[in-house]
């Protein structure tokens, strides 16, 4: 089994709606995210997946959340607390 792990981070604000305390107020966090890809076979170059492709895909996902108010984004805008 082969494993490739890519790490990324983003900063965002949110609030825990109806929380009985300070977390109901707008506040922010620094979020750390890991993307893990596993497989049993390597390609002709000896790679599971091109590291750059996974890194770019993770960046695309994290860019959607970076410096945003998470409660305004799907699925959180539908009433799910981030």
Question: What pLDDT band is residue 26 in, cutting at 50, 70 and 90?
Answer: very high
Domain that holds residue 49: 2-78
**Tally of domains within the chain:** 1
3-class secondary structure, 4: strand
Query: What mean pLDDT is predicted for residues 9-35?
Result: 97
Question: CATH no. for residue 12?
Answer: 3.30.479.10
pLDDT of residue 28: 98
Q: What percent of the chain has pLDDT over 90?
A: 99
φ, ψ of residue 54 to 5 degrees: the values are -70, -40
Alpha-carbon torsion angle 77, 10, 22, 71, nearest 10: -10
What pTM value is reported for the model? Answer: 0.84
CB 65 within 8 A of CB 31: yes
Give how far Cα 37 sits from Cα of 4, 21, 67, 79, 82, Å. Answer: 5, 38, 26, 31, 25
């Amino acid at each position: 089994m082969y494993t490739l792990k890519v790490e990324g981070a983003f900063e965002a604000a949110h609030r825990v709606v109806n929380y009985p305390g300070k977390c109901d107020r707008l506040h922010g966090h620094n979020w750390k995210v890991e993307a893990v890809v596993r497989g049993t076979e390597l390609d002709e170059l000896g790679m599971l997946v091109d590291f750059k492709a996974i890194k770019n895909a993770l960046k695309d996902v994290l860019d959607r959340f970076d410096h945003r108010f998470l409660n305004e984004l799907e699925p959180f805008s539908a009433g799910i607390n981030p």
